Chain A
């Protein structure tokens, strides 16, 4: 889905020339990591291990799909980690409160999921409207909401941990730990979000408008595009993606605290950038973001399995890969 959309290609030679080789660097990096992992540890290529990696990449990956829209539209959202923590805490408290016998445990979880998705939309809309209607820099607005959401979850938890009622945990557990057709539920969710995101970004007017706005907002405005509306919607999508990640995350630990989701915003942005999306906006691909999220998760996994480098250096390796990825893509974006 990444090949630039051109008229029917006349020959294989022309086709080859049109393959966006530079955009394939993230994929090459992923393949390289897999090869290195396979060479270094026999357990690496087992399906258990690989599904483990994919499951762990699902949180950041889903958030990063939303982040791809925001960044391509010329914005940035720093609040996603705090937003995830706040939504987790609020969801758990809400479900605990509803669990008084009037609703079945399944009903409680369903209501909780519905409300958290709605709250994600609202939180994203709040970011988006402050940016577009309030005409404040995205960096500033989301830096502000980063602090607000983080302090709200700390307040809700009264400085400690919010735990989900045990009766509800049993019902909710399969959403993270279960699997369907042998594939873990979070991986399914990641795949569905990524496919829907890719269709929205690459095949619809909305996606084209997001890219146009990120490329040059004035040109978009003069082309009669509702710039403020579209930009706000990118943050709404981001909020929804965070909420989906929360729905998957809460059953994993069954708790939320002030340290939930710390630095997720940086990992999500890193996944988007490693995936080849320009930080200044205008162009990018969902599939790249997916590759970026999986790569981040793979790095930790390879370091865990092998003892060549201390796993405490995970952040160092990730950092080097982020910088390296942007270095390799520089030729296409700069001049």
Chain B
């Protein structure tokens, strides 16, 4: 493209307190291109994006718009100039309708009153171009996360956008929604809009981006044409070392390995119907399916986190877990997919977080803070939590380190069945690999692992067997060996399904 850049950053640095997190980074965004920013967690991608879109002032360097240095007073000033950032944490008002959100702060007026018919029409047209079927009068609270994301995008597009910054936009989208988003991105770029795109998903970047800027520890490693790089090269430059195998070796499950957890005919009203599955010691059972298929609800139901009925057996014994504590006492642990809302006390320090689930081990009868501190230090070593100080609030950690703390919290209860729900969501490639290898270690100790994931490569890379769910029902139980993504997707989308839930050979016994 012959045009000069719309927006660029020259020597941008950013410090928070005494710590500089971004070091003199140059980046430029040209009209009509998709420019990806990649790097491990904490590499400075989001910070760079926020400097360019007026959310933070730069500590040094300048932002250049159309060849002229600018200083945005705040994000509103940047938006007025056509630079719009879509947040990782969505920025919508839950109790307002879709239409009210899209036009929040710049409602069309007529005779001094808000012109709602006009706003509704405009919103409906916008959503139609996004091929999103959401009633404009629905409250955002009632939308799914992916629908809310589309509304957020509609809101951005509705303002004469010139540079659209997206931070992990597909994290909460299903495959079809991702395709819609990519279509939209292509149409926007065809109109000359520039897209700045942060993602951990390298395959997405290969598919959609023109150029990629790689960051590592706040330094720019380089800007490359995507066509000149393979995903492996990209990953290597991100982590600064050769990434060996992503997954640990998959040891065979011994034939005589006992069944650790067995679920039969479980109903979770409104979410799951008649689910049956089992997992043996030393085995990884993958649970695949699209967003909303009921995977999380199945296990939350089994563990007493939501109402459910059906039969559950632990080590062959029938159990009835009415409360998560019952499951904990039976040595079953569940890692939530929502670590910020359900996994961590963000305002509390790491010590209180890591021991929260196993506090009885530290109370004799008074809580022994020294023992807690030692447990935290042990966990930080074991899980390679990389922070300068351990006496900080959980909110101060990067996503990867937060996930390690949540995982450490679970493991302090010494479970022998571990259910991991999207354990690598929003986590950089290096940390992902660490988590995969940790799963390998668990297997060696005879722990049974259930891996719920929307990332098929990790399911295929780790699972011995895969249960696929579609619309609340288990459509297939597949052998992990030789399994491919197409087969899993066929079951996940409901195109294929096994005639009977073929997980169990034993006669059906109902509680």
Contact = CB atoms under 8 A, between A and B. Distances in A.
B348 interface: yes
A219 interface: yes
A7 interface: yes
A221 B324 contact: yes
Contacts of A219: 341-345, 356
A273 interface: no
B191 interface: no
A224 interface: yes
B276 interface: no
A5 interface: yes
Given A222-B305, A222-B336, A205 B363 contact: yes
B375 interface: no
A224 B342 contact: no
A5 B372 CA distance: 10
Interface in B289-343: 305, 323-325, 327-328, 334, 336, 341-343
Contacts of A218: 341-342
Given A222-B336, A222-B342, A204 B348 contact: no
Interface stretch (A172-180, A208-216, A293-301): A208-216
Contact of B409 (A209, A223, A225, A226): A223
B357 interface: yes
B356 A225 contact: yes
A128 interface: no
A209 B362 CA distance: 13
A307 interface: no
A204 B359 CA distance: 9
A75 interface: no
B341 A216 contact: yes
B347 interface: yes
Contacts of B370: 7
A331 interface: no
B342 A212 contact: no
Contacts of A216: 341, 345-346
Nearest to B369: A5
A6 interface: yes
Nearest to B335: A222
Interface string A203-245: 1110011011001101111111110000000000000000000
A283 B366 CA distance: 19
Given A4-B349, A216-B341, A222 B324 contact: yes
A112 interface: no
Nearest to B413: A224
B189 interface: no
A282 interface: yes
Nearest to A218: B342
Contacts of B346: 216
Nearest to B327: A224
Contacts of B351: 5
B345 A212 contact: yes
B334 A222 contact: yes
A146 B161 CA distance: 55
B359 A205 contact: yes
Contact of A226 (B325, B348, B352, B391): B325
A282 B363 contact: no
B169 to A, nearest CB: 25
B345 A224 contact: no
B363 A215 contact: no
B373 interface: yes
Contact of A224 (B341, B357, B363): B357
A205 B367 contact: yes
B369 to A, nearest CB: 4
A208 B305 contact: no
B142 interface: no
A311 to B, nearest CB: 41
Given A204-B365, A222-B334, A6 B391 contact: yes
A4 B369 CA distance: 10
B360 interface: yes
B369 A222 contact: no
Contacts of B363: 204-205
A212 B367 contact: no
Contacts of A221: 305, 324, 342
Contacts of A204: 363, 365-367
A212 B347 CA distance: 10
A205 B367 CA distance: 6
Name the residue in B323, B336, B370, B413 with the highest tally of chain A Cβ atoms < 10 Å from its Cβ: B323
B347 A225 contact: no
B356 A7 contact: no
Interface string A2-25: 001111000000000000000000
Contacts of A220: 356
A226 B349 CA distance: 21
B409 A212 contact: no
B368 to A, nearest CB: 10
Contacts of B360: 205
A105 B199 CA distance: 78
Nearest to A209: B359
Interface string B364-384: 011101100100000000000
Nearest to B344: A219
Given A5-B369, A208-B367, A224 B325 contact: yes
Contacts of B391: 4, 6-7
28 contacts: A5-B351, A6-B373, A204-B366, A204-B367, A208-B359, A208-B367, A209-B359, A211-B348, A211-B352, A212-B345, A215-B345, A215-B348, A218-B342, A219-B341, A219-B342, A219-B344, A222-B336, A222-B343, A223-B356, A223-B357, A223-B409, A224-B323, A224-B324, A224-B325, A224-B328, A224-B357, A282-B345, A283-B347
Interface of A: 4-7, 199, 203-205, 208-209, 211-212, 215-216, 218-226, 282-283
Given A7-B373, A223-B409, A226-B323, 10 more contacts: A199-B366, A204-B366, A215-B345, A215-B348, A216-B345, A219-B344, A221-B324, A221-B342, A222-B342, A224-B328
Ordered nearest first, which 8 A-B pairs have the shortest CB separation?
A: A224-B328, A224-B324, A223-B357, A5-B369, A203-B366, A224-B325, A223-B356, A205-B363
